[in-house]
Amino acid sequence: MNKGLLAVAVLLGATVGAARADYVIILASIGEVKDPLKAAGQGGQTGAAGAPGQAGAAGAGGMGGAVGVGIVPSGMAGGPTLPPPGPGAAGLAGAGGAGGLLGVGGAAGAMGAMGVLGAPGMAGGLGATGGHAATKGPRVMAVVDVRWVQNYPGKPVLTRVEHKWGESLLWGFDVEFQVGKMRNGTALPSIAERFKDEKNKLHKPGRGKPSAQQLYDFAERALTRGLIRDFEEAMKELAATDKGHPAVESFNTVKNALANKINRTTAGQQWLEKKNFHGYRMAVGDYHVLLHRGREDSPLVASRLRHLRDHFVAFYYWHALKGKVLPLPADKLVCVMTTSDAQVFFKQNDIFDGVPIVADSFFSPRHNLVVFASQPLDAPYKDHLRATGFLWDAGIGRDECLRRGYRPERNVHQFQSWNAQTHALVLKVLEDDVEMASVAHCCIPQILIGAGVLPRHVALPDWLQSGLGSFMQTPPNSLWRNFGGLHWAHLLAFQDLRNTDAFKNNDDKLLRSIVTNEFFRDKKTPSKEAQASAWALTYFLAQRKLKNLEAYYAQLRRLPRDLEMEGDVLLDTFARAMGCYDTANNRRDDAKLAQLAEDFVRYFKDEVTLDNDARPMLEEIHKLQGELAKELADANTPKPATGGWGGFPGLPGGPGGFPMPMGGLPMPMGAPGGAPLPIPGGSTLPPPR
């Protein structure tokens, strides 16, 4: 088990009933998900006598007896009742490998091809393909915001959690999970609970009414952490406390404009008529239309429109806090969700200028069009979905088993049910992370172009488009939504970049590298450093130089149509907007630009810090993300085959397995004692709340 991960029981002790946990980190193998029924042998019944070995046809050596299990699961009474582990009944006797009629030997089932040219061979077994390279597969991580955790005494690997989709039993049979903690060792409360406590402190009896500044600060913290309703309530209270506050008038103006929504769908109708989207239908939201090929009541469609609306509203509210009233687009903004076929998504990307793909989505400024993949495209997600397929093939619905009060069908074993609930939650969190990130990364540039703030026919600098996208983006594995606040993952990555030898003592070089798109040379798949540095500069400008950022938008609007921007053109345009340009001599003022670079870096050194309570958990997640990325990279690095069991020597590329004796290799009898599953028996699980 990873050193940073402890069993939930260790963190919560022998807690009875519900405990406050609020965040749970789950790590699951991408491609090696165990079938609990096979591991259990479906109960430790007495093993039957081994049958004589089959004829030694290719690859048919006798198999060993299955190991018995020391527990026998019984029916459910508000939860499964498990008797204490016994000595374990005898395992199935091994099927004898001797006496093969056609002593051909346990050769590979079909040519036993082990690692050709040094690549790992297929998984070998007795009579299976030679050349097995056994490695621990890479893992995926899911961070879940839970409302309560119920731990069962004596059952340290079974925990019930409530989450936004319903509730689940987490089973530590083949995953690792832990409760997120603060520095003092206590569980980190959810962001909603923390803001509830903060609000109560603001209005604590005897302390008097909160000041206008306190209300403004509370509203800003609520908005940037995704709590739109708390933000609106705080702004109403601010208006009652100080009607003349600069943010109050802009908030009221923006709120009224948003309430009127956007009525025109002309652009959406025009896109529907194009052959690219033949067969698509249009779902209409408050400020967007979404073209798709799903059902009219598709949960995926409803979820995308909801995320689009939240980000749209939050972006306008963020500017209202700064005393700015952005114009609304005249027409509903157009988004497309492709089919589940990934090739359709990549084909659309080729059609729409081959713009960068981030978070399984892309935005084409020329067409002011956002395109989403309907499912995560990354290999770890797809591999984990494939690895858990045996659970969904057993008739368990992924969404159904997440709902509160779920009870499996009669033909579904309780072990399968627990395992399915655990992995369904992992997959759901991965999907939700990508969905929120994809919406945020594309919707902000689209809003600014739709509202006429940014030009549609000028090639936007890559750093600006990426920075605007991540400005409202919620990082994967985040503890709360991000609406214009700190993108903690980019912050930590930017700190790492800042401390590299290339930029440690060269702020000017760092700023110039960002502005001239040096980090975006691979435009198709921007690196972590490219995205983090673009976010950092955008965040700095938005927080400290918003007027200069708006001047930069204006400079871009003045540029010739379809001008390819690079090098000095990018730097000069940026310098003019930032007041780092000598207009009298018509040249860039490099001294002022260097001072701006120094201010930029100092801002992140002196003023920007992570949430103190959440910092230990965020740093742990960041560390784990690095470990998982390394695991994935190692898994994709070809390794020499290590030799296989049985079979003739493999084809060229590695040492072959040892040859089987004639008739196959005799197998030992089954072991007398079964291995108990990791569920100490003897108590009844209480029914869900």
The first and second tokens of residue 86, run together, are 């016994």
Tokens of 369: 């069009």
Mean pLDDT for 412-425 is 92
**What tens digit of pLDDT does each residue of 602-654 get?**
999 999 988 888 888 888 898 998 899 888 888 878 765 554 444 444 444 33
pLDDT of residue 525: 72
> Taking a C-beta distance cutoff of 8 angstroms, is the pair 489, 622 a contact?
yes
pLDDT per position as a tens digit, 134-189? 335 689 999 998 877 666 655 557 888 899 999 998 888 888 888 787 777 788 88
Return d(Cα 616, Cα 322) in angstroms, integer: 31
Is it the case that residue 79 has pLDDT exceeding 60?
no
pLDDT of 86 higher than 80: no
- Residues 507, 510, 514, 517, Cα dihedral to 10°: 140
Q: What is the pLDDT of residue 269?
A: 94
Give the model's pLDDT for residue 588. 94
Phi, psi of 313 (to 5 degrees): -60, -45
Residue pLDDT, tens place only, 508-530: 999 999 999 999 876 667 888 99
Q: What pLDDT, on a 0 to 100 scale, did the predictor assign at position 90?
A: 36
The pairs formed by 621-624 with CB atoms below 8 angstroms and a separation of 24 or more are: 621/25, 621/141, 621/143, 621/477, 622/488, 622/489, 622/492, 623/4, 624/2, 624/4, 624/25, 624/27, 624/141
Per the CB < 8 A criterion, the answer to whether 657 and 112 are in contact is: yes
How far apart, in whole angstroms, are the C-alpha atoms of residue 337 and residue 324?
Answer: 32
Q: Residue 269 carries which side chain, given as an amino acid letter? A: Q
Whole-number pLDDT of residue 641: 52
- Between CA 84 and CA 268 the distance in angstroms is 63
Q: Can you read off the two tokens belonging to residue 32?
A: 């090696």
Q: pLDDT: is 555 or 122 the higher one?
A: 555
How far from chain centre, in Å, is Cα 611?
Answer: 21
- Rounded to an integer, the average pLDDT of 488-507 is 91
3-state secondary structure string, 576-591? HHCCCEECCCCEECHH
pLDDT at 151: 65
**DSSP tally for the chain: helices H, then strands E:** 20, 14
Residues in the chain: 689
Neighbours of 653 (CB within 10 A): 18
Least confident of 234-238, 289-293, 359-363, 680-684: 680-684
pLDDT category of residue 100 using cuts at 50, 70 and 90: very low
pLDDT at 49: 37
Higher pLDDT, 503 or 92: 503
Report how far residue 454's alpha carbon sits from residue 490's, in angstroms, rounded to the nearest whole number.
Answer: 24
Percent of the chain with pLDDT over 90: 41
DSSP string over 617-645: HHHHHHHHHHHHHHHHHHHTS-------S
Q: Say what percent of the chain tops pLDDT 70.
A: 73
Distance CA 93, CA 671 (A): 8
pLDDT bucket at 674, cuts 50 / 70 / 90: very low
**392 membership: H or E segment, kind and range:** helix 389-393
Q: Which of the two residues, 680 and 272, has the higher pLDDT score?
A: 272
pLDDT for residue 432: 92
Question: What is the mean predicted confidence (pLDDT) over 410-422?
Answer: 89
User: How much is the mean pLDDT over the chain?
Assistant: 77
Q: Is the pLDDT of residue 133 over 80?
A: no
What contacts 295, CB < 8 A, 6 or more positions away? Answer: 301
What are the φ and ψ backbone dihedral angles of 634, each rounded to 5 degrees? -65, -40
- DSSP label at 116? G
What would the mean pLDDT of 243-269 be, rounded to a whole number? Answer: 94
What angle (nearest 5°) sits at the alpha carbon of residue 676, between those of residues 674 and 678?
160
3-state secondary structure 242-277: CCCCHHHHHHHHHHHHHHCCCCECHHHHHHHCCHHH
Give CA–CA dist 292/280, Å, rounded: 5
Tokens of 288: 């967007």
- Per-residue pLDDT of 433-470, as tens digits, reads 999 989 988 889 999 999 999 998 888 898 999 999 89
Residue 534 has pLDDT above 90, yes or no: yes
Is there a contact between 309 and 344 (Cβ–Cβ < 8 Å)? no
Q: Name the token pair of 623.
A: 């560390």
**Local structure of residue 592 (DSSP, 8 states):** H
The reported pLDDT for the residue numbered 351 is 87
The whole-number pLDDT of residue 635 equals: 82
pLDDT in tens, 316-343: 999 999 999 999 999 999 999 998 788 8
Instruction: Out of 54-68, 303-317, 402-416, pick the least confident.
Output: 54-68
Could you tell me the residue ranges of all domains in the chain? 191-244, 460-612
Within 10 Å of residue 491's Cβ, how many Cβ atoms? 21
